[in-house]
Amino acid sequence: MKVVEQIKQPIAYEMDLFEQKFQLSMSSKVALLNRITHYIVNRKGKQMRPMFVFLVAKMVSNGEVSERTYRGASVIELIHTATLVHDDVVDDSNRRRGFFSVNALWKNKIAVLIGDFLLSKGLLLSIDNNDFDLLKIISIAVREMSEGELLQIEKARKLDITEDVYYEIIRQKTATLIAACCSLGAASVKPDSAHVESMRRFGELIGMAFQIKDDLFDYGDTQIGKPTGIDIKEQKMTLPLIYVLNQASKKDKKWLINSVKNHNKDAKRVKEIIAFVKDNGGLDYAITKMKAFQKEALHLLENFPDSDYKSSLKLMVTYVIDRKK
């Protein structure tokens, strides 16, 4: 059995029911909108985010879920889908999970409007049901994701990212959404409990580990999910590179910064940067940090009694850093 299927096992019923509720939450009176949302729904990914919502909800409440849990999972998926549609416009990307992106098929103007529609659907789903605590969690996540993207753009221009700034960027850009999933799961069944904050932190730690793993793929020898060296070509400062830059001699540092700034499209130079980072311990350092985040996340689960849901969350934490793409 695939790891993702194994993780999903204790919440298989909830995930099936969620699929139906989620499709309903996307419906509209406009035929074009329905055609596009149908296209999006049928090309979904692994659905890790709703899985986090249900697993956390069931772990903290001894196997209970409520309508709020389903709404929380739908809201997070609506908002996440909206951000993906907008990201493809911003990045001028024509593919998403191996299929044509919305902007590739229907052009940018429609893609932006679809993203706005999904965002408003998510917000209204919470407002119409008075889930204001859930709405606050997701609204903070959207704000942080936007700030993280802009902070990364600002820093990429100067290449002056410290390790602390890097953590702040990935916390906002990636970890904040997984943190929102986990706190939503807890808040949907145990509002105002200490679980809401501890599960937010749990999700944040997993998100940090997840992003560092993504950064490591850039240094892989095989094409896993994205081509090797793509972060360097896009002048994205990732942890292996930041570490090596901070350790390098003045001469090497100058060469590295010049290479990333001015020769990032030169395939030979990009290979040299990758080799330099590997030889100077950049990957080992990043792996150590990633495992530290993983360990801290697993430690937070120890406060809960053993259950299938807890086992699945543990498996999820391991999967995040063992995945091959």
Q: How far apart are CA 20 and CA 33, in angstroms?
A: 18
The pTM (predicted TM-score) of the whole model is 0.88
Q: What value does the mean pLDDT take over residues 79-94?
A: 79
Q: What is the pLDDT of residues 145-191, one digit of tens each?
A: 989 988 888 877 777 778 999 999 999 988 999 999 999 999 999 98
Burial class (CB in 10 A: 0-12, 13-18, 19+), 30: exposed
Give the residue carrying structure tokens 């409440």: 61
Q: What value does the mean pLDDT take over residues 122-150?
A: 91
Q: Cα–chain-centroid distance for residue 314?
A: 18
What stretches of the chain show up as alpha helix (H) in DSSP?
3-8, 12-25, 31-41, 48-60, 67-90, 102-128, 132-158, 163-170, 176-189, 194-217, 230-233, 239-247, 250-262, 267-279, 282-301, 308-322
pLDDT at 223: 46
How many residues comprise the chain? 325
The CA-CA-CA angle for residues 39, 40, 46, to 5°, reads: 130
Cβ atoms of residues 5 and 48 within 8 Å: no
Strands 99-100 vs 95-96: parallel, antiparallel or unpaired? antiparallel
Q: What SS3 state is found at 100?
A: strand
Closest CA relative to residue 242, chosen from 208, 210, 281, 293: 281
Closest CA relative to residue 10, chosen from 48, 51, 45, 46: 51
Q: How far apart are CA 288 and CA 322, in angstroms?
A: 14
Cβ atoms of residues 198 and 174 within 8 Å: no
Q: How far apart are CA 234 and CA 13, in angstroms?
A: 42
Q: What is the pLDDT of residues 198-257, one digit of tens each?
A: 999 999 999 999 999 988 888 875 544 455 677 777 777 889 999 998 888 889 988 888
Determine which of 36-50, 74-88, 103-117 has the lowest per-residue pLDDT on average: 36-50
For each of the domains in the chain, give its residue range(s) and CATH number, in order of start: 3-322 (1.10.600.10)
pLDDT at 210: 92
Q: 224 φ, ψ to 5°?
A: -115, 100
pLDDT at 9: 92
Q: How far apart are CA 141 and CA 249, in angstroms?
A: 39
